[in-house]
A and B are shown apart, each in its own frame.
Chain A
Amino acid sequence: GAGVSQSPSNKVTEKGKDVELRCDPISGHTALYWYRQSLGQGLEFLIYFQGNSAPDKSGLPSDRFSAERTGGSVSTLTIQRTQQEDSAVYLCASSLAGQKETQYFGPGTRLLVL
């Protein structure tokens, strides 16, 4: 597709279980970002990948959160031992190298932890 895609679009899980969220960036975009959008709050930066460089993990809220990007394309955000406060919309964005100011966002994954 032409845009950033994310899957699943919705995820309901039980507290304590692990979840994996997937992001497919726009082809050719070397930069990839994960954000969390909680109810009534703005977007919270989680992690940033740029090419083969070490990711910027400064936004990850706890060690239960991790992300990887395989082959410089698809990325997976993993949340271990989910908590109710992890319920949010998780947005992925991608951009061309050197054009970080123009990020293209996916539709998000809505995560509900019961």
Chain B
Amino acid sequence: AQSVTQLGSHVSVSEGALVLLRCNYSSSVPPYLFWYVQYPNQGLQLLLKYTTGATLVKGINGFEAEFKKSETSFHLTKPSAHMSDAAEYFCAVSDQVQFYFGTGTSLTVIP
């Protein structure tokens, strides 16, 4: 069975500070891992994904995530937060049949 846990439903950071959004997964098969961002009143937009190969993946808007199999984690980071990063972030795992989403983390950026 597949599942995703996002630690922290709300995260606040100061503008310019490091962003770290945590995601741990459970998967009975080699997972595909994803981060999506949802801006207010909009659909989900793919930030980045890991399928195979390099474990550090870079996405749009300066975000990146590292797949750590030993820790079953796929944390999302960005070195310097921008006001426009304020949104809801969802981690997801796929067993190549279905997608399983976490409950989301709301990121607030403080000026």
Bits for A18-40, please: 1 = Cβ < 8 Å to B, else 0: 00000000000000010100001
Known: A42-B4, A45-B100. A101 touches B43 (CB 8 A): no
Count contacts between A and B, CB distance < 8 Å.
Answer: 57
Contact A91 B98 (CB under 8 A): no
Contact A105 B45 (CB under 8 A): yes
Task: Give chain B residues whose Cβ lies under 8 Å from the Cβ of A102.
Answer: 46, 49
Contact A101 B32 (CB under 8 A): yes
Is A107 close to B, CB under 8 A? yes
Is A53 close to B, CB under 8 A? no
Q: Which of A33, A42, A101 contacts B102 (CB 8 A)?
A: A42
Contact A107 B103 (CB under 8 A): no
Is A43 close to B, CB under 8 A? yes
Contact B45 A42 (CB under 8 A): no
Task: Give chain B residues whose Cβ lies under 8 Å from the Cβ of A107.
Answer: 41-43
B47 to A: closest C-beta gap in Å: 12
Bits for A52-63, please: 1 = Cβ < 8 Å to B, else 0: 000010110000
Interface of A is mostly: loop
Is B84 close to A, CB under 8 A? no
A21 to B: closest C-beta gap in Å: 14
B48 to A: closest C-beta gap in Å: 11
Is B67 close to A, CB under 8 A? no
Contact A101 B51 (CB under 8 A): yes
Task: Give chain A residues whose Cβ lies under 8 Å from the Cβ of B49.
Answer: 101-102
Bits for A100-111, please: 1 = Cβ < 8 Å to B, else 0: 111111111000
Contact A45 B98 (CB under 8 A): yes
Task: Give chain A residues whose Cβ lies under 8 Å from the Cβ of B99.
Answer: 33, 35, 43, 45, 103
Task: Give chain B residues whose Cβ lies under 8 Å from the Cβ of A79.
Answer: none
Task: Give chain A residues whose Cβ lies under 8 Å from the Cβ of B92.
Answer: 43
Residues of A within 8 A of B (CB): 3-4, 33, 35, 40-45, 48, 56, 58-59, 91, 93, 100-108
